[in-house]
Amino acid sequence: MRVRNKPWAEDYIKQHDGIVVLEPSQNKGKWKQAFSHTNRPVHLEIGSGRGGFIQGMGAKNPEINFIGMEVQKNVVVSAIDRVKEAEVENVRLLHENADQLSDIFEENELDTIYLNFSDPWPKNRHEKRRLTHQSFLSQYQQILKADGKIVMKTDNQHLFEYSLVSFSQFGLRLEEVTLDLHATEDPTNVMTEYEEKFTNKGQPIYRCIISNHK
């Protein structure tokens, strides 16, 4: 995703500390308290992009608290604007990398993790950068509750196949495997920007739902 550089992005993020959690490690173990309603489950999207999915999920599911994590600051500002415009009070954003999730989230703290259209990193030498590599899966397993879920969507068949093998070899349970998500209507699905783009081109969208157990 090519993104125009925005020199003002860092200051813009700091100005919206009501939406963006600026020092997320301080919330470790108490993420529910970062929201107005502290008795709701907490869901995390890794790689939230311009925020279309996380904002849509927040609006559609007011009984859940959502966190969108994005490493590119020039993209985070677009997510901020989406959340502001939609006035969803159950969405928070993080300008962070997913490498050290255990520094941000306590064990058993999350109910669901979303991996939407993650970078496939197709070259073998970049395998460890894939968000479904075992090094990431070990972090997900730690911060997810025992019955927590991982929901993955992608248009990349190679990444999807790799991920299914990776999940299985790690010992996670495959609850659902869908090879063409939009072949039938799913009222629970909220599309990302990439998903809309690829679906309009007639490209199949792959989805799997993984159950954590410890």
DSSP bridge pairs for 65: 42
DSSP bridge pairs for 44: 67, 113
Q: Which among 69, 79, 72 is positioned nearest to 105, based on CA atoms?
A: 69
Task: Enter the DSSP assignment of 75.
Answer: H
Which two structure tokens, joined as six digits, stand for 124?
A: 């073998």
- Indicate which residues carry an active-site annotation: 119
Q: Do 150 and 101 form a contact (C-beta atoms < 8 A)?
A: no
d(CA 160, CA 117): 10
Q: For 30, how many CA atoms within 13 A lie in the half-sphere containing its CB?
A: 6
Is residue 175 annotated as involved in ligand binding? no
Is residue 97 annotated as involved in ligand binding? yes
Is residue 161 annotated as involved in ligand binding? no
Is residue 145 annotated as involved in ligand binding? no
Is residue 123 annotated as involved in ligand binding? yes
Is residue 193 annotated as involved in ligand binding? yes
Which residue's entry shows tokens 């939009």? 182
Return the percent helix, strand and coil in the chain, to nearest 5: 40, 20, 40
Is residue 155 annotated as involved in ligand binding? yes
Is residue 70 annotated as involved in ligand binding? yes
Instruction: Extract the annotated binding site.
Output: 45, 70, 97, 119, 123, 155, 192-195
Instruction: Extract the annotated binding site for S-adenosyl-L-methionine.
Output: 45, 70, 97, 119
Instruction: Extract the annotated binding site for substrate.
Output: 123, 155, 192-195
